[in-house]
Amino acid sequence: MTRREEIETNLAAVRGRIERACTAAGRDADEVTLVVVTKFHPVTDLAHLVDLGVTDIGENRDQEAGAKIAELDPVTRAALTVHFIGQLQTNKARNVAAYADCVQSVDRPRLVGALDRAVANRAGAAGGEATLDVLLQVDLGEGEDAGRGGILPADVSTLADQVAETEHLRLKGLMAVAPLGLDEAGTTAAFGRLADLSAHVREAHPGATTLSAGMSGDLELAVSAGATHLRVGTAILGSRPVQR
């Protein structure tokens, strides 16, 4: 099997899982966007994905993402929405704002300021207006899940207001990773808390309709909790080299 065929087969299987999960949840599959997580995989895979109809990809490390996006030919780049989904250091905000269409991992006030200034600089350089879509990453592990990142649920409203007050950032919604080590009931409960929080944020910010949750192992649970964006890597591109 060629790499393209392998990706095509895996993609069809994941799309089937999403359709069945939507049917089971009484949802329309069109409501759910598949973000293929391409971290650690070569730029040639991105071209295959675009060829196979993928519109959204996710990357989690600035250096790798920046290099890969820069290598894409303009037609392939234009066909893609690029999501940054990794923990982001404030001093990398400027890099990421230059190639990402959406930053899903905003989790603290300083990062909001840094991203807004980065987009403002970009706008100045282009002599026009520029905006960046952002999601707030929520820590569903009640602070005990160090390393997965995110802001505590109690602090989400304040951060949402702060994003909404910026000139260049557009608050699109929330993102979360299910805490490690939960069984199905625990994951369902965690996604349920995320959905409740999303409803609460939308009372003040009606445009914040995105709910990014669900990965290769738990996408069905995320769909039933109302996820609008799934971030799927392994199930489509295979296992990654061990994370450094």
Residues that bind ligand PLP (CB under 6 A): 37, 39, 60, 85-86, 177, 215-217, 231-235
CB of 199 vs ligand PLP, minimal distance in Å? 22
Choice between 43 and 130, CB closer to ligand PLP: 43
Choice between 80 and 166, CB closer to ligand PLP: 80
CB of 92 vs ligand PLP, minimal distance in Å? 16
CA dihedral 21, 56, 165, 175 (to 10 degrees): 40
Of 154, 143, 223, residue with least CA distance to 187: 223
Choice between 86 and 153, CB closer to ligand PLP: 86
d(CA 182, CA 79): 36
CB of 204 vs ligand PLP, minimal distance in Å? 25
Backbone dihedral angles phi then psi of residue 49, each to the nearest 5 degrees? -60, -45
Neighbour-count burial for 179-191, b at 16+ CB within 10 Å, e otherwise: beebeeeebbbbb
d(CA 82, CA 216): 19
Q: Which two tokens stand for residue 114?
A: 């840094």
CB of 217 vs ligand PLP, minimal distance in Å? 6
What letter would DSSP give residue 101?
Answer: S
Choice between 176 and 197, CB closer to ligand PLP: 176
CB of 132 vs ligand PLP, minimal distance in Å? 18
Choice between 37 and 169, CB closer to ligand PLP: 37
